[in-house]
Amino acid sequence: MNDLLESVRTKAQTWLDSPAIDDATKADVKALLAKPDSKELIDNFYKDLEFGTGGLRGIMGAGSNCMNKYTVGVATQGLANYLNKTFPGKKISLAIAHDSRNNSRFFAEVAAGVLSANGIDVHMFAELRPTPLLSFAIRYLNCQSGIVITASHNPKEYNGYKAYWTGGAQVVPPHDKNIITEVNAITSFEQVRFQADASRIHTIGPEVEKAYYEEVKKLIPNKEVIARHHNIPLVYTSIHGAGITMVPECLKQIGFTNIQLVDEQKVPDGNFPTVPSPNPEEKSAMEMVIAKGKAVNATMVMATDPDTDRVGIGVRKADGEFILLNGNQAFCLMMYFILKNQKDKNNAYIAKTIVTSELVDTMAKQLGIACYNTLTGFKYIAELMGKLEGKQRFIAAGEESYGYMVGDFVRDKDAVSACAFFAAMAASATDENKSMYDWLIDMYVDFGFYKEALVNVTKKGQQGEQEIKALMEKFRSNPPAEITGSKVERLLDYKTLSEKNLITGATSTLDFPNSDVLQFYLQDGSKLSVRPSGTEPKIKFYVSVHAPLKSKEDFAKVNATLDEKIKQLEAYLLSV
């Protein structure tokens, strides 16, 4: 501990000695050094905030392990260096967007300044806009790259920085690794060109949004159904995020006329004052939209995270109560609707991630459409789309963490178009005198009752990082032979890219990029997936169970059985 403390004090001193660091930041560093409790100093300086495969994400503050002007500047200088090396002699342009988080506009302007100082033209939105519009803008404006300043659904203390490439998708190999190399080559803040060239910074006009809405309109099926049910009550909240700038307008553009907003949450605010965390995956973030939904007798409620790439939905049951659909349920319902109504199945495909419900695979197989699985993260889905472009026709994709994408005009998860699509589904269910909850049970009867759960274990700071690594190593070096009375049949290790049948001893190789993920398939059909979060100080456990559902009348009984099985598996995971 003494060595670590000495190391971080030395690192903090380099910030105080740097002529590039402003006086206000130096004052913050001095305050950290003066505190009797050294925990915050250690957390802020024990390492450099890593420019990982998706960019940066961290708590805002002074220090090498925080989001601030200087870590953003270094990341952007590295990206600029790589762009100039990759496109020598060419006019390079890049698009920038940001969400409602504290300092998001400031970080966007820092990035724009550094890029412009390096001879790169920057196209920047005049105010906050959803992340999917950034992906669309890169394609629409023919940019070589893009940046969005957001920490997605993280708590208010966080901010982040995601880098995109030419096709509008987040960077993937080899570009991600090459950018990281360039970032790591910067050894001092004096190497960062902070002085902006204003002549190279341009404001993105309304034509980009207009073109986006036109693409969404092409996507929506059964427009005559929306025309019949345009007045169904839909409630939406942006949870103080960027979604307010586009989601209500998008719903209007496709024909809906009764869109109710949660007024207390419609003003963008990086402090997210009405929720513990602006994450639609958490019930607490959905409380106000459900209350409004009950008050206006809504058909469906929707809530998006701060950068509007994820959406949570709640659907009304016959008794007037709302049920929140998790990401697996919502995506499965979306695919149930799309696949059943897909007239042209020739050479078509959908995509999902390896931790997303296998009900989607089952439906696709039975309905005759290819389903591809990728590693967790839409950048891998986008990479797959790039590889299959011109060979197979993309329909839709999704992941369990509330991310969905229909159509290929955006290459990232898109809550704006997803809200439009879920609204269209609500209208179609209404046209059948059903609710989307009725559809959910119909789907289980047709294809099997699959149920999933996610257990997040948060472990913060330097100590937490070590604990997560130790837990993954424990699972990897000493895998369980049996879990809750069922033998482990198959073990898939995406780090070593190996699959082993623990019953027969047979082994095979996985055709995926390396990733720190383990999956256990049990003989009773259950599946457990374990992975550290790439963006938060968490280890994630994904639990999946399933059973046949012979009739609607059996729903409650089978549901209770699956809940008990999930409860047992969760107890096992938390005891490890």
* Sheet strands side by side (includes 322-325): 259-261, 234-237, 300-304, 311-316, 322-325
Residue with tokens 């369980």: 480
Residue 575, Cβ density class (10 Å: 0-12 exposed, 13-18 middle, ≥19 buried): exposed
Choose among 218, 216, 234, 247: nearest CA to 429.
234
Is beta strand 486-493 parallel, antiparallel or unpaired with respect to 498-501?
antiparallel
Q: Distance between CA atoms of 271 and 240, rounded to whole angstroms?
A: 8
Token representation of residue 543: 């639990």
List the beta bridge partners of residue 370: 349
Residue with tokens 């005049």: 126
Residues 6+ apart with CB under 8 A from 33: 9, 12, 41
Distance of CA 56 to the CA centre of its chain: 14
**Which of the residues 64, 135, 152, 544 is marked catalytic?**
152
Q: Distance between CA atoms of 496 and 511, rounded to whole angstroms?
A: 11
Q: Distance between CA atoms of 425 and 440, rounded to whole angstroms?
A: 12
Q: Distance between CA atoms of 363 and 340, rounded to whole angstroms?
A: 9
What is the number of other CB atoms lying within 10 angstroms of the CB of residue 36? 4
* Catalytic site includes residue 508: no
Token representation of residue 545: 């169970």
Residue 408, Cβ density class (10 Å: 0-12 exposed, 13-18 middle, ≥19 buried): buried
Cβ 341 vs Cβ 427: under 8 Å: no
Residues 6+ apart with CB under 8 A from 553: none
Q: Provide φ and ψ at 447, rounded to 5°.
A: -125, -5
Token representation of residue 29: 């560093």
Is beta strand 393-399 parallel, antiparallel or unpaired with respect to 322-325?
unpaired
Residues 6+ apart with CB under 8 A from 339: 350, 363, 364, 367, 369
Choose among 384, 327, 382: nearest CA to 357.
327
Q: What SS3 state is found at 413?
A: coil
Q: Distance between CA atoms of 453 and 294, rounded to whole angstroms?
A: 26
Token representation of residue 205: 């006009």
DSSP assignment string, 344-382: --TTEEEEEETTS-THHHHHHHHHT-EEEEE-SSHHHHH
- For 384, 483, 493, the CA distances from 522, given in Å and listed in that order, are 29, 8, 15
Q: Which residues are catalytic?
A: 152
